[in-house]
A and B are shown apart, each in its own frame.
Chain A
Amino acid sequence: MLNPATEPMLPRPFRVLKVGRETADTFTLTLEAAGGGQGFSFAPGQFNMLYAFGIGESPISISGNPERPETLVHTIRAVGAVTRTICGLKKGEILGGRGPFGAPWPMAAAAGQDVLVIAGGLGLAPLRPAVYHLLSHRQDYGNLELIYGARTPEDLLYYKELEGWRGRFDFRVHVTVDAARGEWRGSVGVVPHIIPRARFDPVNTVALVCGPGVMMRFTVQELLAHGLKPENIYVSMERNMKCGLGLCGHCQLGPFFVCKDGPVFRYDQLQDWFLAREV
């Protein structure tokens, strides 16, 4: 979408085409370049710095389809001043954006393998482009499974889309919540506990994991216990990213800058820092 090589710190204006409510505090914004121009090429797992004018910037994963570059899609939880402002934008209003930044999910390296996509909470947003890619190149991959967990059924993102994916014969979808009331007929339990239900060949499986830190920690433990190799597990890390270029150091994690070296990391390269506290 932008050219980080020449103008990496300069936000470009984007117009809001659509705002959709996902949950009580999470919204999906569909954007287009305010000045027209080319589409927004990105790779699954990358993020943009979105700028609420006069308020500030926030790193937000791209959650749209990488093969539909004419629009840019972000799913955002309203938790701070910037994200609350962005989520409050109306159709036609303008925000700034720069990117795409960061290392993507290893879609090429996963070809020929079974793929486990494991998401918790808002972690499905950066994984959705990977799912789009996997499904549109279905013949290149082995068994595909999505395990997705949220706090309650009301907190699930992309509900209609999940139903659609679940209806496919070539993609198994496991959705679980921590607690449920009413008419929920799905699974109740935590994501790591669902992993034994998935069908995969541990020697030939790549796992893509994104979610809260606690969930990822227990999920990786479970994957390793089921025989996955550390080099076949990829995790997306969240840090306080500011510049997006690995210059400011806000997102440093040991020897890495999450904005530049990540946010997607191969677990074996990160494992010494994955469990480290206060870094």
Chain B
Amino acid sequence: MDRPDVRQTVYQVTMVTVVAVAVGAVASLAAIAFVEAVLLLNDYLLVSPYARIQAEDRHLLVMAATIAVPASGGLIVGLIVRWFVQERRALAPPDVILAAQTQRSGPGFRSGLASTLAALVSLGSGASVGQYGPLVYLGAMFGNLAGHLKLKLRHQRSIAIACGVAAAIATAFNAPIAGLVFAHEVILRHYSLRAFAPVTVASATGYIIANVIFDRPAMFLVSFGHVEHSYEFVFFALEGVLSAGLACCFMWLLRASTDAARRFPVPQWLKPASAGLVLGLVALWIPEVLGIGQETLRFATIEGAFGIGELALIIVAKLVLTALCIGFGFVGGVFSPALLVGILFGAFYGLVLPYLLPLPYSGLEVYAICGMMALASSVIGAPLTTILIVFELTRSYDLTIAAMVAVVFSNLISYRVIGRSLFDLQLRARGFDLSLGRDKAILETHPVRDYCSQAYTTAYVDENLGTVRQRLVDDDRGEAMVLTREGKFRGVVRLQKLVNGRADAPLDAMVVTGATQFGDDTTVWQSMEMLRGFLGEAVPLIGADGRLIGVVPEEAVIRAYLEIVHDLREEENEAA
């Protein structure tokens, strides 16, 4: 290796490491600050049971707070989103996926900060939404900033975004391996050493900050012995299948709620407040629906904490109210509610099972954890991540294997029924379809217009055959674009048709009008599809006003396809 190459390699490795550590550290600190701020708000606003019980003497105050806090929180959220978020909607993991996958600029930093603030208010005031979505966005936001520095690193932006996301997840769950895998599985959608190395560094940085420097408590502590009976694995698989059903139900509810919100005759900024009001009223009766529900999560693993009926009631209430809160514009994620509903469903399953099949079981805990992970993994489309979260949080091999079985069965079903994840569904609604892999999705983001050429021969409908024939011979082309005198595109004439015609014959009769043509918004992917059976040199590209913008030679479409796919393959196979 000669000298400049060595210098270049040292520069690359050093810079990538510096970016990874910096993004990891900032994302991790931001995540800690966010989580702490939510807890503080929950205590201050009488959302957390810990704060509520201390105000027990002032019963009316607690009741008033239960109704007023989510409602006014919703109002503030509505106003923040209206005034400060340019996109007028919550920014979430789908935006991160889009930013990492495409070259599009994506939401600005200001919108990101405002969206994060809205999430903070939502969670702080007890809305039934999750905190991991906002944390992922927060991490990605700082990654995106680093991605714009002029460091001349390849795929700098997508890698920096993945670094931020990995660090945020590693911090939030105290699970660095899960953070690393999440960034690849959900955000990058491929595994290459070039991305893997810095994302690992960022994830480890997040873990060190959370664990060593701040000594944050683990999100979930369980002690589990082992699965006592081999036949239980069948029950875990069945639990996975049932969880998939619940996951589909959850996603369907989310969509129904979003649709209902659209039809709800109230200004957009007032919608979160109305959801908050409903939430508060239900919380008077079922306090478990408020907030993230750490306590409920823990109770679900304890035998005797819930009756079967109670569990069913809380599951339904939490599902419906989460869909309501998110659909009506509270800003927050779906992962924490999915974890909670999942663990409650798991506990429910664990309690009902002995009545159906009177066999010995390994206790409630393992069923609760399986349900939690099966449901949550289906919703966010991250089976590997959730399996690793179980492993890292519980350090129990047995529990992880049990959860693994439930998770894969759940994902198998939900993938078939609704698609890979809620994020992918939301992206598809926005025209970015990852269901057939990255190739199609990315090819869909490139307009074929970018490959347009002005090298074509023009003919007008009122010209005669001989003139056009001579022009084609002079230009050395086989076809001409026929326009009206007003400049509108009319069709194509091919030299083959003109060769034997009379020179004074009108051109009009020779024009082929129904041939393949591209529009202003035709993507590279669509153009590939449209080229099937195409015989000709170039495809005309017609603007919305019917005028000819240019032509796209067949060769250009193939070149576009090869270039884009080559870039993708290169990204996926690069070493550091």
Whether chains A and B associate is: no
A-to-B contact residues, CB < 8 Å: none
B residues at A contact (CB < 8 Å): none
